[in-house]
A and B are shown apart, each in its own frame.
Chain A
Amino acid sequence: MENNIIIDLKNISVSFDGEPILKDLNLYIRDKEFITFLGPSGCGKTTTLRVIAGFIEPDGGDVIFDNKRINDVPPHKRQVNTIFQRYALFPHLNVYENIAFGLRLKKVSNKEIKQTVTDMLALVNLRGFEKRNIQSLSGGQQQRVAIARALAVKPRVLLLDEPLGALDLKLRKDMQNELKNIQQRLGITFIYVTHDQEEALSMSDTIVVMDSGVIQQIGTPLDIYNEPKNAFVADFIGESNILDGIMLDDCLVEFSGHRFECLDKGFAKNEAIDVVVRPEDVDVVEEEKGMVKGEVTSVTFKGVHFETIVDIGGFKWMIQSTDYHEVGKRIGLFIEPDAIHIMKKSAYSGLYGDYSSFSEEFDELSDPEEVEEE
Chain B
Amino acid sequence: MSSRSLKAKLVASPYIVWSAIFIIAPLIFVAYYAFTDSSGAFTLENIFELSKYTTTFLRSVWFGIVATIICLIIAFPLAYFISQKTEKVQRTLVLLVMLPMWMSFLIRTYSWMALLQDTGIINSFLMKIGIDPVHMINTEGAVILGMVYNFLPFMITPIYSVMAKLDHSMIEACQDLGGNRLTCVRRCIIPMSMPGVVSGITMVFVPSVSTFYISQKLGGGSFDLIGDVIERQFQQSYNYNLGASISFVLMILILICMAVMNRFTGDEEMAI
Contacts and interface: CB of A to CB of B under 8 A. Distances in A.
Interface residues of B, number: 20
B132 interface: no
A340 interface: no
B98 interface: no
A88 B177 contact: no
A75 interface: yes
Given A86-B169, A88-B170, A105 B176 contact: no
A84 B272 CA distance: 23
Contacts of A77: 178
B96 to A, nearest CB: 25
Interface string B24-67: 00000000000000000000000000000000000000000000
Interface string A64-102: 000000000011110011101110111111000000011
A279 B180 CA distance: 52
B173 to A, nearest CB: 4
Interface in B168-184: 169-170, 172-180, 183
A88 B167 contact: yes
A155 to B, nearest CB: 9
B132 to A, nearest CB: 48
Interface of B: 167, 169-170, 172-180, 183, 187-188, 191-192, 194, 269, 272
Contacts of B191: 90, 92
A153 interface: yes
Contacts of A106: 178
Contact of A105 (B167, B170, B183): B183
Nearest to A146: B173
A76 B180 contact: yes
Given A90-B188, A91-B192, A105-B183, A76 B169 contact: no
B173 A90 contact: yes
A193 to B, nearest CB: 14
Interface residues of A, number: 26
Contact of A82 (B172, B183, B188, B272): B172
Nearest to B269: A92
Contact of A102 (B167, B169, B178): B178
Contacts of B192: 90-92
Contacts of B174: 90, 101
A90 B170 contact: yes
Contacts of A150: 176-177
A45 interface: no
Contacts of A102: 177-178
Contacts of A101: 174, 177, 187
B177 A149 contact: yes
Given A86-B169, A90-B192, A92-B194, A81 B269 contact: no
Interface string A23-54: 00000000000000000000000000000011
Q: Closest 7 A-B residue pairs measured CB to CB?
A: A102-B177, A88-B169, A88-B173, A105-B178, A75-B175, A92-B191, A84-B169
